[in-house]
Structure 1
Amino acid sequence: MMEFYMRFSGTAVSFLARTFSGIMLFTTVFLLGTVSAGESVEDRGYRWFEVEVLVFRYTDVEIEDPEQFPLAVRPISIHNSRDLYTERLTPPIESLYYALPVCEGKRRWVAPLRSVFLSGALFAEENQLPSAQRIGCRRLHDDALVRSFYAKQTELKTVAPAHLPLVMSGTKQGTREEMLRAETPFLVPREQFALTPLRQQLERRRDASPILHTAWRQPVFTRTVGRRHRLVGGKNYTDQFDYFGFPVSPANQQVQERLQHYLNYHLNGVSMDDEGPFAGLLTVLDAADRGEFRLSRPNSDDLRFPERPGQNPRGIPEQVWEFDGLMHIYLVGNYLHIDTDFNLREPITVSAAARDVREQVRDFLEPDAHELEFLRAYPFQQLRRVISHQTHYFDHPNYGVVVQIRRTDLSNRR
């Protein structure tokens, strides 16, 4: 009996020991698995690289073949691209705007209503108000009855600088911890730039002028997974030209012209359009009788001036920059590739050929009518396989792009 008890007790102790060991092993594996899972979430396996770009334009370009770059602007859609600069240059002002009190009376009407129902006298009265009173309230309000209408209107205009800084840099050093925590690419400090001596040499030259110098860190994926990065630089032509290069009137000039129109019509009973479509007709007829003017059939070969598109394609930028475009960096196997798609803009004076009778008459009455400014674009597309830590130069007759891609602590295959 005692022997049975001892054997049973030993078996029980052995069973309990094995069970306890199993529980401890399971707990250890579970905890280790939990830690590993936490590490895998933190280290997502992204391959981070540092990209530095220097863009400059040639200042003494002479294009021998004008047909090499047609006047028609080839649009570059920025849809689904990544922009590292706009938020830094145009901070949000919604909080400041909605802190203003709501305008009272007719001043609370939004622009479409005001342009239809307000008289020129009221426009003149408001225009004479001090600036603080004119901009000291907001017209959009939270009215449930007209919320659907007001939701389509906006008084918040994004104001971008007239000229972008030459050097676009950030504050993150790009350490391993920062890259592991980062959700999006980020700009790095200018102290980490490697192309600064080259930029300084270009600044001292007379035949070249730098436009943009920037560097950022980004994870690099395959061609179909990664996103294109938008690069912008130089002057802001938004107030002078639309995206397709046609001149536009500044917003304040349009307001002044409309105000003057209302004043002439409502106060004096005279419209700016009272001369009508027959203005100058007698002058043209007299010139035709004297043989000084004769209509001609437009030559289709001379119609090289681009037509204004009926509607803008999807993804057209709101701001018109001197340099604008996309750079796509991706991996094919273990090889880096750079795909560029840029436009460099330059204002020129063009003389459009007469296309119809009205334009021929206008040319006669106003000899400089067709001598107009146009913002042309010099496109550049190139795909190249590159090697990290080497300096790569993309050449164009009008500008150049220097790119250097450097490895980081997380550049190895993950």
Structure 2
Amino acid sequence: MLFRNSFILLCCLFTSSAFATRWFEIEVLIYKQRPAPYLQEDFSLKHDEINAKNKLDLLTPALEEQARQACIEGDTRFKSNSFTDSLVSNSPHSNVCDDSVDFLSSYTQLPVTPSVKFREDTDEIYLIASSDLQFTEQKNQLERKGLTPILHTGWRFPEMSQSRAPSIRLFAGEHLQSEQSTTTNIDNDFISLVSPTQQYIPDTIQSAPKWELDGLMKIYVRHYLFINADFDISKRLETGDYEKARFSQFKRVISNEIHYFDHPRMGMIVQIRRYNH
């Protein structure tokens, strides 16, 4: 009887471990290519907006919290400029670091690596702390070659099918809309005739991309690991307009191997690793 119970317990443990969800971690390093004066690519082609039904934005909460902490420490980029805040502030130089501040839009240039706390759980998909990133040498090599990294991050995620896996939103680089709003001349006499809630905004501002890099990356498992990435890489032209280049890559990958994705405007280095909590 004792042997039979032990055998059943052993079978249960084996079955449980056999069907346990596998976890992975992905590390992503995205960099800008050097301008190519003789590049023949035509980036005038218009594309549909990058979208997905099941999206997950891990960067925004991390970057907002990073900006909030910088605001508390006195960083003047992140403060409220409202009239009410100026009345209640004890000092004209004191920052108001609450929800009245649009922390994300206050960045003129996003940090290359978002600052997040160390985590090791299976509650949800989460960003990797910078201390766990491993592409230090690759990043140094890029910088020595005169290339500019604009995003170096990673996240941990459970094995998911194509239908269940979320598309992770990634964005990086300059805040182009803030640059446009400070350099575009607007007719103030015309604005004075419009109510504040219906303020006129030129089409060039309405259609301006928000960030230099913006898009989605989806990783799923179907016998093998697959990466499906779509990004828009935008730059401002001398005319004041914006030019978007579409980066679209679909690739089957092998865990623990380092994979390179190339484009005239950007490059991406990716590694997916098995992760045991």
The verdict on how the C-alpha distance between 1:217 and 1:52 changes in structure 2, with shifts beyond 3 A counting, is: same
The verdict on how the C-alpha distance between 1:133 and 1:82 changes in structure 2, with shifts beyond 3 A counting, is: closer
Which residue of the other structure, out of 46, 52, 63, is the alignment partner of 2:27?
A: 52
Partner of 1:199: 139
Cα distance in 1 for residues equivalent to 2:184 and 2:39: 39
Q: Which SS does the other structure have where 1:239 is aligned?
A: helix
Cα distance in 1 for residues equivalent to 2:138 and 2:233: 21
Which residue of the other structure, out of 223, 226, 231, is the alignment partner of 1:342?
A: 231
1:90 partnered with 2:29: no
Cα distance in 2 for residues equivalent to 1:377 and 1:319: 8
The amino acid across from 1:45 in the alignment is: A
Q: CA deviation at 1:258?
A: 6.0
1:330 partnered with 2:203: no
Cα distance in 2 for residues equivalent to 1:53 and 1:331: 18
Q: CA deviation at 1:186?
A: 1.1
Q: CA deviation at 1:217?
A: 0.6
Partner of 1:72: 46
- Structure 2: 5+ residue stretches without partners: 66-80, 89-98, 194-202
Q: CA deviation at 1:228?
A: 0.7
Cα distance in 1 for residues equivalent to 2:243 and 2:166: 27
Partner of 2:102: 158
Q: CA deviation at 1:253?
A: 7.9
Deviations 1:245-265 (A, max 9, x none): xxxx459987x9369947xxx
Asked if the contact 1:72–1:376 (Cα under 8 Å) also holds between the matched residues in 2, the reply is: no
Moved over 6 A (4+): 251-254
Aligned residues, how many? 232
The verdict on how the C-alpha distance between 1:78 and 1:236 changes in structure 2, with shifts beyond 3 A counting, is: farther
Which residue of the other structure, out of 212, 230, 237, is the alignment partner of 2:176?
A: 237
Aligned Cα root-mean-square deviation (Å): 3.9
1:137-286 to 2 correspondences below 5 Å? 158-160=102-104, 161-174=107-120, 178-179=121-122, 182=123, 184-206=124-146, 208-241=147-180, 249-250=181-182, 257=188, 261=192
Partner of 2:253: 386
Cα distance in 2 for residues equivalent to 1:198 and 1:217: 20
1:81 partnered with 2:55: yes
Q: CA deviation at 1:322?
A: 0.8
The amino acid across from 2:275 in the alignment is: T
The verdict on how the C-alpha distance between 1:398 and 1:203 changes in structure 2, with shifts beyond 3 A counting, is: same
The amino acid across from 2:111 in the alignment is: P
The verdict on how the C-alpha distance between 1:132 and 1:156 changes in structure 2, with shifts beyond 3 A counting, is: closer
Asked if the contact 1:228–1:327 (Cα under 8 Å) also holds between the matched residues in 2, the reply is: yes
Cα distance in 2 for residues equivalent to 1:384 and 1:259: 51
Partner of 1:320: 210
The verdict on how the C-alpha distance between 1:347 and 1:71 changes in structure 2, with shifts beyond 3 A counting, is: farther
Deviations 1:63-97 (A, max 9, x none): 5325x221535421265311111012225xxxxxx
TM-score by length of 1: 0.48
Deviations 1:151-196 (A, max 9, x none): xxxx95734211111123532253xxx22xx1x2112222221211
Structure possessing the higher radius of gyration over alpha carbons: 1
The amino acid across from 1:403 in the alignment is: V
Cα distance in 2 for residues equivalent to 1:399 and 1:227: 23
The verdict on how the C-alpha distance between 1:240 and 1:45 changes in structure 2, with shifts beyond 3 A counting, is: same
Q: Which SS does the other structure have where 1:163 is aligned?
A: coil
The verdict on how the C-alpha distance between 1:162 and 1:390 changes in structure 2, with shifts beyond 3 A counting, is: same
More helix by share: 1
Cα distance in 1 for residues equivalent to 2:252 and 2:117: 30
Partner of 1:373: 240
Asked if the contact 1:55–1:212 (Cα under 8 Å) also holds between the matched residues in 2, the reply is: yes
The amino acid across from 1:402 in the alignment is: I
Cα distance in 1 for residues equivalent to 2:100 and 2:116: 27
The amino acid across from 2:171 in the alignment is: V
The amino acid across from 1:213 in the alignment is: H
Q: CA deviation at 1:132?
A: 7.4
Cα distance in 1 for residues equivalent to 2:174 and 2:48: 19
Asked if the contact 1:172–1:186 (Cα under 8 Å) also holds between the matched residues in 2, the reply is: no
The verdict on how the C-alpha distance between 1:159 and 1:189 changes in structure 2, with shifts beyond 3 A counting, is: closer
Q: CA deviation at 1:62?
A: 2.9
The amino acid across from 1:171 in the alignment is: K
The amino acid across from 1:202 in the alignment is: L
Asked if the contact 2:216–2:230 (Cα under 8 Å) also holds between the matched residues in 1, the reply is: yes
Asked if the contact 1:170–1:186 (Cα under 8 Å) also holds between the matched residues in 2, the reply is: no
The verdict on how the C-alpha distance between 1:222 and 1:260 changes in structure 2, with shifts beyond 3 A counting, is: closer
